[in-house]
Amino acid sequence: MIELTQAIGMLVRRIRSAAASHELSLTEAAVMARLDRDGPATTAELARAERMKPQSMGTTIASLEEMGMVERKPHPTDGRQLNIVLTAKGLSVRNAMRAEKRTWLAQAITQLNESERETLFKAGEIIKRLAER
């Protein structure tokens, strides 16, 4: 069990490092991924989703905003709130990061033999089921 946990952690860290050239923190990258996947959100919604304090999320959003990755837009139904949205630059960086990660993983998988690839893909299905529970 420990070896599985360590192996998954090592793989996740290696995949993340494939896109490290963009110099985003893990939290900044996670927020950008969430905005890309789920669309605009308030700072409070992002904080809840990432299990962070709103003040900490505010700091993360300010940093991303300073880099030009996100911007604040009026909430469509509540004029008191602002939504955080990815900018064109933010979306471009997010797409580049995703491509770099996928490229690294695809190249790594080509180093495996056919039997190892089959085993890996079956394990991936099992891990996904575990994560969805």
Contact 101, 19 (CB under 8 A): yes
The residue type found at 5 is T
In this structure, the number of other CB atoms found within 10 A of the CB of residue 62 comes to 12
Of the candidate ranges 2-11, 20-29, 66-75, the one whose mean pLDDT is the lowest:
20-29
Please give the domain boundaries of the chain with CATH numbers for all domains. 2-132 (1.10.10.10)
Query: Above 80 in pLDDT, residue 132?
Result: yes
Contact 13, 132 (CB under 8 A): no
* pLDDT score, position 18: 87
Query: Above 80 in pLDDT, residue 59?
Result: yes
pLDDT tens-digit readout, 85-127: 999 999 999 999 999 999 999 999 999 999 999 999 999 999 9
Tokens of 67: 């880099």
pLDDT tens-digit readout, 10-53: 999 999 888 877 889 989 999 999 999 999 999 999 999 999 99
Tokens of 127: 């891990």
Cα 66 → chain centroid: 19
Cα radius of gyration rounded to whole Å, the chain: 18
Cα 48 → chain centroid: 16
* pLDDT score, position 101: 93
Backbone angles phi, psi at 86, to 5 degrees: -70, 140
Contact 28, 63 (CB under 8 A): yes
